[in-house]
Copies of this chain bind each other. A is one copy, B any other.
C-alpha cells in the first residue's frame, strides 16, 4: 500500500481533487459556496494537470448555472465525462437539464456545496434545501459529512455514475464542509485508476451522439409510449445501490475508513438511533461516544447513498434492537407533513412488525450551529417529551417547536480549541489557515479551521475557529469554549463578548496600542471580571507598532501568528514553530523578493519578544460589570435585530424577534445608527488641494465620503469652522463646496486617497482622534439636515 499522504485543505479542494481525475469537461458557473471547486479545476487545467485519461480538463464557463447544466448535458451526449459544481439557486436552475441527463442515462456528476435557498431572504450559508429540491430529478444522491469524506466519497460518485449510467449528485454542507480546512488523507489518482471501469467508459463513448453514430435523442413521446419508456429505466436504478456499495467497500479498503450506503455508529444494541446526513453526523458521532461512555444504548445511522434509497442496505446496518428513531432533516418544506428524510424513514418502516417510534426534527438551516448539547436534547426527547417535528438550535417561542438544551462539552482532553477575532482583510483568515498547514504537515496532530465572516467583508469582524488534536476532528460546530482567544482589535472589547466562553485557566491575547500600565484602566470591568473568574492568563502585544517596525504596514497577521505559537507550546515547541513559520513565509513570499521575506522573518521574531504579560488580579472577580443601557430612542428594528446581529448576538434572537418582519422586510436607515469606529486612520480633507472631481466619493466602498454644495444662506447658518471652498463648474456660481467624511463609518481602507487625481493629494490618512470625530459629526448633522445639494453630486463632475 502506498504511503498515506496528508494535506490540510477545505471540502471544496477535496471535491475538486477527486472530481478532476474523472472529468474531461467541466461546465461551470460560480455560486457561493461552490465556486472554489470550479476555480481549482480551472487553475489545475491551466497548469496542465492530467486527469485519469491523460488530459487536462477542458473548462467551459457559461453565463448562468442553467447554461452550465446545458453544457454538461450536451457534452455528455457528445461522449465526454462531464462535471459541474454548484449550490442553491444555481442547482435550481439546473433542474430541467438534470431530468434530461438522468433520463438519457448519462454519467454526469454534480458536486454541490449544499446551501439554503433564498426564501424570506437570501443566504449564502449551508443546508439541504437545494439538494432536496433536486430529489425528484432521477439523479443518484450521495452525501459526505466531512472534508475527509468528500475526498473519499467524491470518487464513488464518479465511479458509480460511469458504471451505472445514472448521474450522481454528490453533496456536502456549504461552508461547514466546503470551507472548513481540515487535515485529510489525499486520494492517490493511481488508486482511483484501478477502480475505474474502463469498459464502461468505452461503452459510454461508443454511445456518443456524433455524425458517425447518427441517431435521434431528446425527441418527443406521446401518451401512448412515454410511460413504458419511463418505467423501463427502473432496471438501471435497481443496480445503483450494489454498484455504489461495491465502490464504497473498495474505498474503505484503500483508506481504512468504513463506508457503505448507510453506516451505523454507536452501541451495537442501540435502542435509540438518530438518522441524519451531512456534517452533523460528525458531531453526532462525538455525542454518541459521549453518551455510550455513560452507558446509554444510542447510535447514529449515517445516510451516504440517499438516492436510490436502498432498504436492503438500510436494514443491514440498523440494529435490530432499535426502539426509537429520530430523523434529522437539514431542510424545511413548509406545508408538508414532514421533511423528506423523515418521510422516507417512516415510509420504509410502515407496515413492518415491531416498528420503532419515529420522530422528526429540523436543524441547522443556513449553517445554524448544531452542537453536542442540541444532539443530547434530541436523544433525551426520544425517551421523554417525544416532541415530533421539533427544531433545535433556535428558541422558537412562536410555534413552540424547539427542544430546550444545555451545552455539553464532548471535546477530548488532548484537543485544543482556539478562537481568533480579526478585522476583515487584516490577514487573520490567511494566517489561521497557514497555521493549520504548518501544524498539519509537520506534526501528527490533526487540525481544523472554520471562519465566520460577517457580510460586511472588509472591515467586518472575522472569527476563526481552530481546533488541534491527536485524532481526526469531528467537531462540526463553532468553537464556544476556547482554550485560547486572540483579538486583533481592542475596540472589540466593548462590542463583543470575547472571553465569556474562555475555559478555566485559558489565555487571552490582545493586540492593543495601550501600554501595559494602562491596560487595567482600559479594560472594561466585564472583561476583567470574566478573566479573574476563569483564572485566565492575559497577554497584550502592540502588533500595529511591531508590524510597522518590521516594514509590514497594517498587516499584523504574522506577528499575531508568532505570538500564538509562543503561547501554545502544547501544540509545538516555539523553536520548531519559528523555523517552520520562516520556512512557510519563504515559500509564500519568496517570489516577491528577499526583502519581503526578511521583513516577515523580523515579524516572526518580534511576535514572541513583543508579548507582554498582564497580571489578572483575583479581585477583578468582584468588579461590577458595566451595565449596558438600551437606547429606547433607536428604532425597533435597529434596537431589537440589527444591533444584536452587529454584536454577534443574532444567534440568540428568538423566533419572536421577527414578528412584524415575517416577509423578510428590513427597515431602511439602519446604517445611520451603526457607527462601527473600526478605523485607526481615516481620510482628512485638504481643502486647498481639492479639485472637486468627486472621485473620492465615487470610489468609497462604504459611502463614507459625500460631497455637498451650500447656498449663501446655508453657509450663514453653518456651524463655526465648517471648511468649504468656492464651488467650480457650470451652474454652481455662488455655492460653496464641501467634502464630508463620516469617520465613524470609515474602515480606513484608504481607497479614497489612492484614487484622488489631484497632484497634491486632497485627502490624507490621519489618525482618528477627538478633534476629527467631533468636528465631523457636527458637520455631518448640519449638512444632512439643512443642505440642499448633496448625493446627486456623486459622479457629476467626474469628467
Contact = CB atoms under 8 A, between A and B. Distances in A.
B104 A333 contact: no
A58 to B, nearest CB: 24
Interface string A128-139: 010011011011
Interface string A719-761: 0000000000000000000000000000000000000000000
A792 interface: no
Interface string A643-686: 00100101101111111011111111000000000000000000
Contact of A309 (B238, B335, B346, B357): B335
Contacts of A133: 95, 133, 136
A337 B347 contact: yes
Interface in A328-380: 331-338, 342-344, 346-351, 355, 357-358, 364-369
Contacts of A224: 645, 648, 650-651, 653
A228 B396 contact: yes
A530 to B, nearest CB: 22
Interface stretch (A211-219, A415-423, A495-503, A611-619): A211-219
Contact of A221 (B117, B122, B236, B334): B122
Contact of A227 (B89, B165, B237, B394): B394
A641 interface: yes
A643 to B, nearest CB: 13
A67 interface: no
Contact of A215 (B124, B217, B332, B666): B666
Contacts of A524: none
Q: Which of A120, A240, A661, A663 has the most CB of B within 10 A?
A: A120
B351 A231 contact: no
Interface in A217-244: 217-238, 240
B95 A119 contact: no
A165 B662 CA distance: 11
Interface string A396-418: 10110100000000000000000
Interface in A21-62: none
A343 B350 CA distance: 10
A82 to B, nearest CB: 16
A572 interface: no
Contacts of A89: 96
Contact of A661 (B229, B237, B342, B658): B229
A89 B651 CA distance: 39
A96 B96 contact: no
B365 A337 contact: no
Q: Which of A225, A368, A651 has the most CB of B within 10 A?
A: A225
A158 interface: no
A454 interface: yes
Given A92-B95, A116-B226, A658-B232, A217 B338 contact: no
Interface string A306-338: 011101000000000000000000011111111
A333 B231 CA distance: 11
A100 interface: yes
B103 A391 contact: no
Interface size bucket, A side? 35 or more
A226 B125 contact: yes
A140 interface: yes
Nearest to A220: B122
Contacts of A129: 136
A226 B132 contact: no
B658 A332 contact: no
A102 interface: yes
Contact of A337 (B95, B311, B645): B311
Contacts of A136: 129, 132-133, 331, 333, 336
A136 B339 CA distance: 9
A99 interface: yes
A501 to B, nearest CB: 16
B349 A336 contact: no
A222 B444 CA distance: 35
Nearest to A103: B119
A424 to B, nearest CB: 14
A228 B123 CA distance: 13
A160 to B, nearest CB: 12
A654 B662 CA distance: 52
A240 to B, nearest CB: 7
Q: Which 9 A-B pairs have the closest CB atoms?
A: A224-B650, A103-B119, A308-B335, A226-B366, A223-B367, A227-B365, A307-B335, A103-B120, A121-B221
Given A95-B133, A346-B346, 6 more contacts: A135-B333, A207-B663, A224-B651, A231-B365, A234-B399, A235-B399
27 contacts: A116-B226, A119-B138, A120-B229, A120-B230, A121-B229, A123-B223, A136-B331, A138-B335, A139-B335, A215-B665, A217-B665, A217-B666, A220-B455, A221-B366, A221-B664, A223-B368, A224-B650, A225-B645, A225-B650, A226-B366, A230-B365, A231-B655, A235-B398, A309-B337, A337-B348, A346-B350, A350-B358
